[in-house]
Amino acid sequence: MPNVKRLNDADATYRLRIGDYRVLYDRDDAIRVIDVIDVRTRSQAYRRW
């Protein structure tokens, strides 16, 4: 998907870009679970990361 980017190679944390919003999430393929960490505007999304 062009709007999804892995944030860290060693981690399963991803960023999904939806307009001016960013969804940060962890993905566990072994148990098919996606944990949404945070949903923020673009300007606020990376202050913690």
Say yes or no to pLDDT of 48 above 70: no
Asked if the structure places residue 48 within a domain, the reply is no
Asked if the structure places residue 19 within a domain, the reply is yes
What secondary structure, in 3-state letters, does 12-44 show?
A: CEEEEEECCEEEEEEEECCCCEEEEEEEEEHHH
Instruction: Using the structure block, give the residue that is written with the tokens 């998907």.
Output: 1
Which structural domain, as residue segments, surrounds residue 9? 4-42
Number of separate domains in the chain: 1
Over residues 4-43, the pLDDT tens digits come to 998 877 678 899 999 999 999 999 989 999 999 989 998 8
Cα–Cα dist 45/35, whole Å: 16
Interior angle at CA 26, CA 21 and CA 27, nearest 5:
120
The token pair at 24 is 């940060």
The whole-number pLDDT of residue 8 equals: 77
Cα–Cα dist 27/8, whole Å: 12
